[in-house]
Amino acid sequence: MHLVRPEVRVSLPDLADTLSERRTRHFHRAYLVSNTPTVDQHALIYGKPRSNVPKVGFIFTGQGSQWPQMGKALVDTFPSSQRLLRHLDAVLQALPHPPQWSLYDELTCPRSSDHVRQPELSQPLVTALQLLITDLLSTWCVQPASVVGHSSGEIAAFVAAGLLEPEDAIQIAYYRGEAAVDLQDDLRPKLGMMAAGLSDTSPLLQQILQRHSGAVALACINSPQSVTLSGHVSALETVCHQLHSTAILRICCRWTCHTILPSWLTLQPTTKAC
């Protein structure tokens, strides 16, 4: 675009050589053939589409990836996303026992990190945002060849796979979050989870699990050098202090241990109704 500046004088062959050989070759490129420095943008020639459509996989995240106002830029930029979010909000508000909060406001208005970390909010918020992104990609003809969902991310993954409607998905996410709140209200001591920089085969991890048997459990293997532990907050705080910088403690519901079973039993009839 240097050529559109009248003060610029350059040899076209030199410029072509520089742009071709001495600049980053971006994935999306275009070119035109011209005998003059005048640039006609309509004459740009883009790469031809592949004969075979590339296969794309979608990975959907669960609770824990949320942050305040994470949906604001999306709905401010794309009217279709704003319409879908308002529709999902209306679906929740039409329930027999609707939330006292607005899905639209919680995704777009300023909130604290602790606020959006609450399971009754984080689960429907993360699900809703992923439904919006999936819908937007579909309008661009981007469809997944396969999907994977981690934890509550399975809800949006089912929608992407065509096995659930968005309206059903947002209700399931809402009731799942409510079940987590009921569990916290009914159980003592308080429950939580923590990420630790340990492998699942680490001798130190085995010592921790033995020492706090019944109070701390291995909830998830995140990577070869990262695990999630869940259990009683008092025990997790002791473990967190022992591990120092290799641990991050979050006080919330644990979904992957035996104490969640009573809540799952009450959740099943509700999700079937969706």
Mean pLDDT by groups of 10 residues along the chain of 274 residues: 63 82 76 71 67 88 90 94 97 95 96 89 95 96 94 94 96 88 62 86 94 90 88 88 69 51 52 56
> In 3D, which of 81, 161, 91, 171 has the Cα closest to residue 129?
81
The hierarchical CATH code for the domain 59-186+266-273 is: 3.40.366.10
Q: Where are the domains of the chain?
A: 2-46, 59-186+266-273, 191-250
Cα-based angle 90, 124, 230 (whole degrees, multiple of 5): 160
User: What is the predicted pLDDT for the residue at 191?
Assistant: 76
> In 3D, which of 157, 94, 82 has the Cα closest to residue 126?
157
Q: Are strands 57-60 and 146-149 parallel, antiparallel or unpaired?
A: parallel
User: What is the predicted pLDDT for the residue at 24?
Assistant: 80
User: What is the predicted pLDDT for the residue at 47?
Assistant: 65
Which pTM does this prediction carry?
0.69
| Residue 196, beta-bridge partner list | 227, 247
Which residue stretches of the chain are H helix? 12-21, 72-77, 79-93, 103-108, 113-117, 119-139, 153-160, 166-186, 203-211, 233-243, 261-273
Strand, helix or coil for residue 193 = strand
User: What is the predicted pLDDT for the residue at 102?
Assistant: 97
The hierarchical CATH code for the domain 191-250 is: 3.30.70.250
Q: How many other CB atoms are there within 10 angstroms of residue 73's CB atom? A: 11
DSSP label at 149? E
The two structure tokens encoding residue 201:
């085969």
